[in-house]
C-alpha cells in the first residue's frame, strides 16, 4: 500500500470519532450555558424541550460510534448534531430576547451619554485653543488661516532728483507710515537718483521684532516680552526716521525709476513670508534712459505712489506706470497726491 493511501484510510476511519467528540463538546457547552441562565432566572426548561433534546442526543450518539462507518457516519452525525444545536439555541435565545433588548437599550443610553460628554469637552477645548493660541487669526477668502495684521516688508523710494519738489513732505509721509502702520517690520529706505541701482543710494534699513508669536493673553511672561519688544521697536523707528531726516539728497539731474525698481525687486526676493509694500515718492518722470538695462520683478507687491507730483501729463504718467508695474507682477498700483492720505491694504 502506498503511503498516501495509508494516510487516506486512517483519515476515513478516524474522522467519525473526531467529529463526534467535537459535537459532544459543543453541545455540552451550550447545554451548560442554558442551565446556568435558567438557574439564574429561577426557571426550568419545559418537559417537552427536555424530552426533545434527549431524543436528539440519543439519536446522534447512536450513530457514528463505529470506527469504520466511513463518510456516511460523518454526514449523519453532523446532521443530527446540527438539529440538536438548533433546538438548544432556540430555547437559549428565547430566554435571552428580553434581556438582550434591555442590554441594548442600556448600552445605547450609556453610549449617547458618553458621546454628549465627549462632544462638550471637544467643543470647550477647541474654544480655549482658538481663544488662547489664535486670537489674531481669521479664515481668509482663499481658505487658509491668516493673521488679522499681517507683517510687511516695506521699501521706501525717495526721489532725490532736482525735478521733485515735495521732498520734505515725503519725509513726513514716511514718518507717518512707519509710526502708524506698525505692520512694517522689515524696512528699507533708498534714494531715486540718476543711477538708482547702486548701493550709494541706500539711506537706512531696519528689522523690527516680530511680536505675532506672542499670542497668549494669560501668559505674564509673554506680556512682558511683548512689552519689551514693542518698546525696542519704537526706539528703532525713531532711529530710522532720524537717519531719513538727516539724509542728504543727491540732487541728481536725472531720475532713474527703473533702477530703483530693480533695487527694490532684489530686496523683496527674501521676503516670501511678508506682505510686500513698495512706497514711491516721486513725480515718476524717468529721464535716465536706462530701461533696457533693467529687468525688475515685483511679483506679489502692492505699489503705492505717494505725494505724487501733478503735471500737465499726469494722467498719462499714471496710466503708463500702472500698466507697467502690473505687467512685472505688482498686485495693485495706487496713486495719491500731496493732499491725499495713502490707503494701505491691511489684507
* pLDDT tens-digit series, residues 284-304: 999 998 887 778 999 999 999
Strand partners, 337: 308
Choice between 76 and 300, residue whose per-residue pLDDT is larger? 300
- What does 137-205 look like in DSSP terms, one character per residue? EEE-TTSSEEESS--EEEEEEEE-BTT---HHHHHHHHHHHHHH-TTEEEEEEEEE-TTTTSGGGEEEE
| DSSP reduced 3-state for 298 | coil
d(CA 138, CA 231): 27
Q: Give the least confident one: 112-116, 219-223, 270-274.
A: 112-116
> What is the dihedral angle through the alpha carbons of 25, 31, 37, 38, rounded to the nearest 10 degrees?
-160
Strand partners, 332: 302
d(CA 248, CA 193): 12
pLDDT at residue number 183: 86
In terms of Cα–Cα distance, which of 149, 153, 261, 165 is closest to 211?
A: 149
The torsion angles phi and psi of 256, rounded to 5 degrees, stand at -105, 85
| DSSP reduced 3-state for 268 | helix
Confidence of residue 28 (pLDDT cuts 50, 70, 90): low
Write out pLDDT tens, residues 57-74. 444 444 344 444 444 455
Rounded mean pLDDT, 237-259: 95
Q: Which helix (H) or strand (E) holds 255?
A: none
CB 16 within 8 A of CB 71: no
Confidence of residue 271 (pLDDT cuts 50, 70, 90): confident
Could you tell me the fold of the domain covering 151-337?
A: Rossmann fold (3.40.50)
Q: Give the least confident one: 60-74, 87-101, 254-268.
A: 60-74
pLDDT at residue number 176: 94
Task: Note the pTM of the prediction, 2 decimals.
Answer: 0.59
The segment(s) of the chain belonging to CATH 3.40.50 are: 151-337
pLDDT at residue number 25: 56
Q: Which residues of 67-89 are buried (b: 16+ CB within 10 A; e: fewer)?
A: eebeeebbebbbebbeebbebbe
In terms of Cα–Cα distance, which of 197, 208, 313, 310 is closest to 256?
A: 197
Task: Provide the grid cell at 248.
Answer: 542728504
Rounded to 10°, the helix 47-62/3-40 angle is: 170
Q: Give the least confident one: 149-153, 168-172, 232-236.
A: 149-153
CB 337 within 8 A of CB 307: yes
d(CA 152, CA 141): 19
Amino acid at each position: 500500500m502506498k503511503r498516501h493511501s495509508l494516510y487516506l484510510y486512517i483519515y476515513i476511519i478516524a474522522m467519525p470519532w473526531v467529529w463526534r467528540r467535537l459535537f459532544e463538546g459543543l453541545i455540552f457547552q451550550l447545554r451548560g450555558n442554558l442551565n446556568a441562565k435558567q438557574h439564574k432566572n429561577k426557571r426550568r426548561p419545559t418537559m417537552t424541550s427536555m424530552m426533545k433534546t434527549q431524543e436528539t442526543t440519543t439519536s446522534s450518539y447512536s450513530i457514528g460510534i463505529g470506527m469504520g462507518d466511513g463518510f456516511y457516519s460523518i454526514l449523519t452525525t453532523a446532521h443530527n448534531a446540527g438539529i440538536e444545536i438548533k433546538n438548544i439555541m432556540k430555547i437559549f435565545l428565547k430566554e435571552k430576547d428580553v434581556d438582550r433588548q434591555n442590554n441594548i437599550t442600556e448600552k445605547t443610553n450609556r453610549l449617547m451619554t458618553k458621546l454628549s460628554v465627549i462632544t462638550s469637552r471637544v467643543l470647550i477645548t477647541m474654544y480655549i485653543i482658538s481663544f488662547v493660541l489664535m486670537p489674531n487669526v481669521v479664515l481668509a477668502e482663499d481658505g487658509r488661516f491668516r493673521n488679522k495684521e499681517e507683517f510687511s516688508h516695506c521699501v521706501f523710494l525717495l526721489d532725490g532728483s532736482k525735478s521733485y519738489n515735495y521732498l520734505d513732505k515725503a519725509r513726513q509721509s514716511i514718518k507717518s507710515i512707519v509710526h502708524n502702520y506698525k505692520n512694517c517690520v522689515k524696512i528699507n529706505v533708498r534714494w531715486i537718483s540718476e543711477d538708482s541701482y547702486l548701493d550709494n543710494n541706500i539711506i537706512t534699513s531696519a528689522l523690527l521684532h516680530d511680536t505675532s508669536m506672542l499670542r497668549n493673553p494669560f501668559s505674564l511672561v509673554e506680556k512682558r516680552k511683548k512689552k519689551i519688544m514693542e518698546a525696542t521697536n519704537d526706539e528703532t523707528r525713531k532711529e530710522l526716521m532720524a537717519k531719513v531726516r538727516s539724509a542728504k539728497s543727491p540732487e541728481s539731474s536725472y531720475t532713474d525709476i527703473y533702477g530703483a525698481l530693480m533695487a527694490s525687486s532684489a530686496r523683496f526676493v527674501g521676503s516670501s513670508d511678508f506682505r510686500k509694500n513698495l512706497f514711491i515718492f516721486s513725480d515718476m518722470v524717468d529721464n535716465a534712459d536706462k530701461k533696457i538695462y533693467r529687468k525688475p520683478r515685483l511679483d506679489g507687491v502692492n505699489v503705492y505712489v505717494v505725494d505724487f507730483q501733478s503735471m500737465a501729463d499726469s494722467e498719462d504718467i499714471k496710466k503708463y506706470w500702472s500698466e507697467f508695474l502690473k505687467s512685472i507682477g505688482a498686485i495693485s498700483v495706487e496713486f495719491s497726491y500731496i493732499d491725499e492720505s495713502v490707503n494701505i491694504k491691511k489684507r
